[in-house]
Structure 1
Amino acid sequence: MQRLMIADGSDIVRKVGKRILSELGFLVVEAGSDREAIMRCQAQLPNFLIVDAALEGALDVIAAVRAMPQGKTVRIFYCVIEADLKKMMVGKRAGADDFLLKPFDRKILTSVFGGFAAAA
C-alpha cells in the first residue's frame, strides 16, 4: 500500500483529503504542523507528500524531506490556493515535484492520485 502524508494546518482539509485518498487505496498520515510533518517523515517516509503552501515552514518541510536518506524518492505536491507562478517557482526550487490547487475535491484528487494508487 502506498503511503501518503497530508501536511496542512487545517483539520478539515486533512480529514477530507484523508477520507478521499484512503478510499483510493492509500495509507494516509496527517501532519498539522511543519515539525510534526518532519518528525513523521523521519520515522517513516511516505511515497507521496502533500504540503500546503500556507503551512508555516512548508518550504522547510520540503527541504528537510529532500535531505533525508531516500528523500529524493518522495513525490512532493506543493498545494497552492491559486496558480501563483512566483509561489509555485519557490516551491519548485525547494524541491516540489508537482502542484495541487486548493480547494481540492474528490474529482481532483482522484484524477491526480488514482493512477498512483492503482500502480501500487
Structure 2
Amino acid sequence: MSGFTSAAAQVFASSFQTDDLCQMDAPDMADDIDSPDWTEEVTRPLDASAKLKLTRGLLVMSQADFAALLGIPVTTLQNWEQRRTAPDAVARTLIDLIYDDPKEMRARMMRRNAA
C-alpha cells in the first residue's frame, strides 16, 4: 500500500503538469542527481545484528519482549544487536528464519511458548 489517501494522491497529481513531464527529454531525466541509478550498486548482505533490529522494529517489539520470544536473556539480544558478540550458527539460522517471515514466525513461536 502506498500510504496515500485518494485526496492526497489527487493533490500530489494535480501539482504536476502533464505537458511539463512530457517535454522533459531523456538526458534531463538521466542527469537528475536526486534519483541516482542504483541498479548496479553493490550492497553487502545484512548481518545478524541488522536482521534482528529490522525484524524487531517491524514487529514493534521491545528488546525484552523480543528476547522472551526468542527464549534468550535480554543482555544476549542487546549484545547481538550492538555487535559486541555474535550469535552462534544455530542462533543465526533462527534469526534468518524469523527475518524471512517475521509475522508468521512470531505467531509460531508464541504458540510454542504458550504450550
Normalising by structure 2, report the TM-score: 0.31
Q: Larger % of strand: which? A: 1
Q: Larger % of helix: which? A: 2
